[in-house]
Amino acid sequence: MSDGVRWMPRAEAVSRTSVADAVLTDLREAISSGAIPVGTRLPAEAVLSERYGVSRPLVREALRSLQALGLTRTRTGSGTFVIADRLNPSTTFGDFSSRDLVEARPHVEVPAAGFAAERRSEQQRDELVRLCAEMDASDDADEWVRLDSRFHALVAEASGNAVFAKTLADIRDALAHQSQIVNLVAQRRAASGREHRRIAEAIAVGSAIEAREAMRAHLSEVERVITPLAAGAAPDAAD
């Protein structure tokens, strides 16, 4: 196995808003195109940091994302190796499969959003709006996923239904993992942010119909990305 020392990143790769996303995208494209062949050992973090002109923590974040997508594997003491040139993320999230989540979420989160519009407190309303603003402002992928998980849990809590709230609490880690994969594969953070804001606004004004429809539309987009992965195909990127 060889080091990927002949490959060089594109100069424009780090000119985007999210530097870690730019590094990840460039590495993904280099792997999928064969510029970094399967079996290659990637350059060390320090080398990648120098080549991209970014900090080592940002490189580390990109490398973690590559592994989450099933493209690389890190071996302690040996380095990070390319193991696939096509996306192969795990479609099992903790104790739940992607199918489990896709099938169950609409039956829990859609009605929960409707009840939240009717029952939410002013504090819950304000927190939902604040979470949307924090997601829009966040450049950190892990922080965004944490905020996303809190948003969905809060909608269930605001429904005033203990079964919905407990269900979301029980699957929260699985949802966070699924959210991470969806964003890595389809780069949906901006689109997802708009969908979350639509949900929050409907709940804020007390429209149960609009809240249910907004949540249903959001979960449909998640299903659109996740379902092809379970079948071994790559989904289309979202706008």
> Taking the C-alpha atoms of 83, 86, 92 and 98 in order, what is their torsion angle to the nearest 10 degrees?
180
Question: Is the confidence at residue 178, as pLDDT, over 70?
Answer: yes
Question: Is the confidence at residue 15, as pLDDT, over 50?
Answer: no
Q: Which of 35-44, 48-57, 134-143, 204-213 has the highest mean pLDDT?
A: 204-213
Rg of the chain (C-alpha set): 19
Q: Which residue has the higher pLDDT, 68 or 63?
A: 63
Identify the weakest region by mean pLDDT among 14-28, 105-119, 124-138, 158-172.
Answer: 14-28
Q: Which residue has the higher pLDDT, 126 or 88?
A: 126
Return the pLDDT at 228: 78
Return the pLDDT at 6: 65
pLDDT band at 16 (very low <50, low <70, confident <90, very high): very low
Average pLDDT over residues 4-12: 61
Q: What is the tens place of the pLDDT at every residue in 124-152?
A: 999 999 999 999 999 888 899 999 999 99
Rounded Cα–Cα distance for residues 237 and 239 (Å): 7
Within 10 A of 12 (CB to CB), how many other CB atoms are there? 9
